[in-house]
Structure 1
Amino acid sequence: MTAIAVLGNGRVGSNLATALTRAGHQVKVAGRAPGAAADAARTAQLVINATPGAGSLERLAALREELRGKILVDVSNATVDGPDGLPAELLHPGSSLAEQLQAALPHTRVVKTLNTMLFPVMTAPALLAEAPDAFLSGDDPHAKQTVRDLLISLGWREEWITDLGGIQTARATEAAILFVPHVIRTSGFAPFAIKIAR
């Protein structure tokens, strides 16, 4: 059992919190109330960033002390939305939200994952017709192993999880968000994930 704080109580955060609780973890969800995120992060072993990506850097940088020594799992994508509310471009071109978070939080171990799929797949990968891929990006191998174990507790198989390397590799997976609006416009809001065919 891991003590986990989920920052963000929207569809992504609520879905993760429910599934992680069902998997036997001790989960606390922090909404937008003043001080809620700090309180949740302070008592957690692992913190999940499920806040809207456009404001994540500012929100989490303010929790520098609470996140010191913790693993921060970043599942958000920082984008500029188009007129239809869907992602139109990256907020950090040439970089990534994960890299920006790691730079702002040098004493926190940031791991990027689960950001290349619609949120239902994060906690139910077997619902797709073909096995999806989950990618890990981060500089700390022990933190990535902890996150790998967390994904396995959510139903991900070992062979579905690929370690891409250091935190800079997150810029590749974050760029995959630009596929999403086009897929949604052509196929609707049905669960899907990026998969590497081998």
Structure 2
Amino acid sequence: MTTIGILGAGRVGSGLARKLAEAGHEVALGHRESPDPGPAPAPSAEREPDAGPAILHLDQRSAAAGADIVVNATPGDSALARMAALEDELAGKILIDVSNATHHGPDGLPAGLCYPDGSLAEQLQRALPATRVVKTLNTMLFMVMTDPAALSTPPTAYLSGDDADAKAVTAGLLGDLGWRPDWIEDLGDITTARATEALVLLAPHVLRRRGFQPFAVSLAR
């Protein structure tokens, strides 16, 4: 069992937190601000059978500090500043980056890359030299991340990172999310994230034509 801190409590982060907790990991979901814990349950209260796995709700700094592995699921256009501010909390850890750093068009869909001559993952690795950054799960809609087998065509989860052990650990977590080993493609070092991050520019064209239906950019063999 691994303690995982997921930074970003939107659809991506919440979905990953739920699935990883179901797989038996201790999961803390990091919110932008300290979450309201709500009223404490009575000592005798029993957990509802369909309440789902326990997930700890914390602020992002606390979630990162207490985790063995951290997932960046914050908005990509502000992720670099957010993660750089957590340099001490992330030192010595694996940071799995699933975000895409894009400028949004009038319809709210990606219209351009924030780092057209590089990638967010490279920027993160440069800003966090004591952290092992791995890029993955950024070439699909969020629901595919935690249910890849739902697609009629086998999807691909790409891995980019400088540390082989960190990528192996990440691949193991992908397995907990339902990804088969033959659906995982290790592209190489962190510079290869430039290619997968650029693929996000396909998304708005697909969404406008097909609607909000699950899809992934897959490698056909």
TM-score normalised per structure 2: 0.88
| Equivalent residue number for residue 115 of structure 1 | 138
For 1:96 and 1:175, the matched residues in 2 are separated by: 8
Question: Runs in 1 of length 4+ with deviation above 3 angstroms?
Answer: none
For 2:2 and 2:192, the matched residues in 1 are separated by: 26
| 2:21 is equivalent to residue 21 of structure 1 | yes
For 1:143 and 1:135, the matched residues in 2 are separated by: 14
For 1:66, what is the secondary structure of its paired residue?
helix
Q: How much has 1:37 moved relative to structure 2?
A: 1.2
For 1:135, what is the secondary structure of its paired residue?
strand
For 2:96 and 2:83, the matched residues in 1 are separated by: 12
1:86-125 to 2 correspondences below 5 Å: 86-125=109-148
Q: CA RMSD in A?
A: 0.8
| Equivalent residue number for residue 37 of structure 2 | none
Number of residue pairs the alignment of both structures matches: 198
| 2:149 is equivalent to residue 140 of structure 1 | no
Instruction: Tell me the alpha carbon deviations over residues 171-198 of structure 1, each in whole angstroms, 9 at most, x when there is no partner.
Output: 0000000000000000000000001111
Q: How much has 1:32 moved relative to structure 2?
A: 1.0
For 2:152, what is the secondary structure of its paired residue?
coil
**Match for 1:55: what amino acid?**
S
For 1:94, what is the secondary structure of its paired residue?
coil
Identity of aligned residues (%): 61
For 1:138 and 1:162, the matched residues in 2 are separated by: 12
| 2:26 is equivalent to residue 3 of structure 1 | no
Instruction: Tell me the alpha carbon deviations over residues 94-140 of structure 1, each in whole angstroms, 9 at most, x when there is no partner.
Output: 10000000000000000000000000000100000011000000000
| 2:104 is equivalent to residue 81 of structure 1 | yes
Q: 2:90 aligns with which of 42, 59, 67?
A: 67
| Equivalent residue number for residue 32 of structure 1 | 32
For 2:74 and 2:162, the matched residues in 1 are separated by: 22
| Equivalent residue number for residue 183 of structure 2 | 160
TM-score normalised per structure 1: 0.99
Instruction: Tell me the alpha carbon deviations over residues 146-192 of structure 1, each in whole angstroms, 9 at most, x when there is no partner.
Output: 00000011110000000000000000000000000000000000000
**Match for 1:22: what amino acid?**
E
Q: How much has 1:51 moved relative to structure 2?
A: 0.2
**Match for 2:163: what amino acid?**
D
For 2:12, what is the secondary structure of its paired residue?
helix
Structure 1 gaps, min length 5:
none
Structure 2 gaps, min length 5:
35-57
Q: 2:151 aligns with which of 128, 141, 151?
A: 128
